[in-house]
């Protein structure tokens, strides 16, 4: 697939209270294909706040000449960046969020200006878009474990109490590569579906293991590399999480090594995408804020905290109570987020506004009319965890009532249906 492409990565300044093992960035790829312009921006942050998106997106549309439908902005969900949330004891870093908004705009606009500069020789911007699907099945796992007491594990349990995972894990890894006519790499995108937790050193700012993989690929290949997270809401990497040593653990350093190898393998397998239709649809997705039984939710958090994390049980109860107080007046209210589908020939992307469970992501992929379909999580906003009905019945931290879990049971299945319908329109 013939394109014109430019990339730009802009650092997002952080406070000086921690060192950076690698800079946090907003990284953009802007490409023109079949008389349409697309822009993907991936940000090294836990989530992108709604006000940041609301300020950045219109400026990119205006200054980078990209339509709103063709603009995708997502977070990598690194857990090692300054806070962009005000929940669970975290306090939002306003200065960092301000820098983030500016970096998102700057990355996209700077890349677009390269394409729009009349002095840019056509052959310097031209590229061919290639694609491959490969796998990395050893760095992740479905982390919603059923424990012997019937509860769902969070971060503090004995490994011998684990019975089984309660859902699937998606190991497929997509690679989209832009190559110049002479063969050099002009930009690289990869997509995989695991929570982005894990730095090389403790107490540092870090893009986490996926962002570190992107940096390693840039070092080796010489082209800006962008990570798009998949349907990762129920999956984590295999390394130690909380105080639960995993006998199958893979260290952060080893995760980076294995993912780098998997992406490079995908590059070797990649073949040019055939010219075909390109199109995007971005539509409102309507959902309802979940209703909940306050006494039951309070008892659930209290019981879990006292058994598994007694040292912080009172703080957990307080934090979750505060979230439920905020959610209380909103129960049952209809709200709106954005759902996006993008077609690039035979490849489709689905931008989901949250941390979708792997089972739901795989259902979209199974029902998609496209040969290759990939989910992009935390795209254009966030609803927090989006679980399947079975997950709500099982419970567990991800689906306790709170601002991290806004939606009522059935929302995930509704989202799947709408995404599949939008893919059909493409």
How, if at all, do strands 71-75 and 162-165 pair?
unpaired
Domain annotation covers residue 394: no
Nearest Cα to Cα of residue 153 among 425, 395, 406: 395
Domain annotation covers residue 177: yes
Domain annotation covers residue 406: no
Question: What phi, psi does 89 have (nearest 5°)?
Answer: 85, -5
By CB atoms closer than 10 A (0-12, 13-18, 19+), residue 334 is exposed
Query: pLDDT at position 121, please?
Result: 60
Neighbours of 367 (CB within 10 A): 15
Domain range for 176: 2-282+337-386
Kind and range of the H or E element at 39?
A: strand 36-43
By CB atoms closer than 10 A (0-12, 13-18, 19+), residue 85 is middle
Nearest Cα to Cα of residue 176 among 347, 2, 350: 347
Domain annotation covers residue 311: no
Q: Using an 8 Å Cβ cutoff, are 266 and 332 in contact?
A: no
Q: Which residues pair with 410 in a beta bridge?
A: none
Distance separating the N- and C-terminal Cα atoms of the chain: 17
Looking at the structure of the chain, the number of domains it has is: 1
Provide the CB-side half-sphere exposure for 48 (13 A, CA): 30
Domain annotation covers residue 120: yes
Domain annotation covers residue 294: no
Query: pLDDT at position 399, please?
Result: 97
Domain annotation covers residue 118: yes
Kind and range of the H or E element at 338?
A: strand 334-344
Q: How far apart, in whole angstroms, are the C-alpha atoms of residue 404 and residue 400?
A: 8
Q: What is the pLDDT tens value at each position of the chain, 426 positions in all?
A: 999 999 999 999 998 789 999 999 999 999 999 999 999 999 999 999 999 999 999 999 999 999 999 999 999 999 999 999 988 778 899 999 999 999 999 999 999 999 998 776 666 789 999 999 999 999 999 999 999 999 999 988 888 899 999 999 999 999 999 999 999 999 999 999 999 999 999 999 999 999 999 999 999 999 999 999 999 999 999 876 666 667 778 999 999 999 999 999 999 999 999 999 999 999 999 999 999 999 999 999 999 999 999 999 999 999 999 999 999 999 999 999 999 999 999 999 999 999 999 999 999 999 999 999 999 999 999 999 999 999 999 999 999 999 999 999 999 999 999 999 999 999
- Look up the pTM and report it: 0.97
Residues 6+ apart with CB under 8 A from 94: none
Domain annotation covers residue 103: yes
Q: Using an 8 Å Cβ cutoff, are 14 and 82 in contact?
A: yes
Q: What Cα–Cα distance (Å) separates residue 225 from each residue in 52, 132, 260?
A: 23, 15, 11
């Amino acid at each position: 697939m013939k394109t014109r492409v430019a990339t730009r990565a802009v650092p997002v300044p952080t406070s000086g209270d921690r060192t950076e093992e690698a800079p946090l960035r907003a990284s953009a790829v802007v490409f023109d294909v079949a008389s349409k312009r697309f822009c993907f921006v991936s940000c090294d942050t836990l989530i992108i706040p709604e006000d940041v998106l609301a300020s950045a997106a219109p400026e990119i549309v205006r200054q980078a000449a990209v339509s709103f439908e063709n603009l995708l902005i997502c977070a990598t969900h690194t857990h090692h960046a300054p806070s962009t949330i005000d929940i669970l004891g975290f306090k939002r870093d306003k200065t960092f969020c301000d820098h983030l908004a500016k970096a998102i705009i700057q990355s996209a606009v700077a890349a677009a200006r390269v394409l729009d500069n009349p002095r840019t020789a056509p052959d310097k911007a031209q590229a061919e878009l290639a694609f491959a699907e490969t796998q990395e099945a050893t760095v992740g796992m479905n982390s919603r474990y059923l424990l012997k007491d019937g509860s769902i594990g969070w971060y503090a349990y004995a490994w011998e109490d684990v019975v089984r995972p309660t859902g699937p894990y998606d190991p497929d890894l997509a690679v989209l590569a832009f190559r110049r006519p002479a063969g050099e790499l002009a930009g690289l995108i990869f997509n995989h579906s695991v929570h982005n937790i894990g730095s090389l050193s403790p107490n540092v700012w870090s893009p986490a293991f996926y962002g570190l993989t992107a940096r390693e690929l840039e070092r080796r290949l010489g082209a800006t590399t962008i990570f798009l997270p998949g349907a990762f809401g129920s999956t984590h990497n295999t390394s130690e999480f909380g105080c639960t040593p995993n006998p199958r653990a893979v260290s952060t350093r080893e995760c980076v090594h294995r993912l780098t190898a998997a992406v490079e393998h995908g590059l070797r397998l990649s073949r040019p995408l055939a010219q075909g239709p390109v199109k995007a649809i971005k539509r409102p997705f309507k959902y309802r804020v979940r209703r909940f039984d306050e006494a039951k939710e309070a008892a659930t958090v209290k019981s879990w905290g006292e058994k598994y994390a007694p040292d912080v049980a009172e703080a957990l109860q307080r934090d979750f109570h505060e979230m439920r107080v905020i959610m209380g007046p909103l129960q049952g209210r209809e709200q709106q987020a954005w759902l996006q589908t993008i077609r690039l020939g035979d490849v489709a992307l689905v931008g989901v506004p949250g941390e979708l469970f792997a089972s739901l992501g795989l259902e979209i992929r199974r029902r998609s009319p496209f040969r290759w379909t990939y989910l992009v999580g935390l795209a254009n906003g966030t609803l927090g965890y989006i679980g399947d009905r079975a997950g709500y019945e099982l419970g567990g931290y991800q689906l306790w009532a709170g601002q991290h879990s806004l939606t009522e049971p059935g929302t995930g299945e509704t989202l799947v249906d709408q995404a599949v319908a939008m893919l059909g329109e493409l």
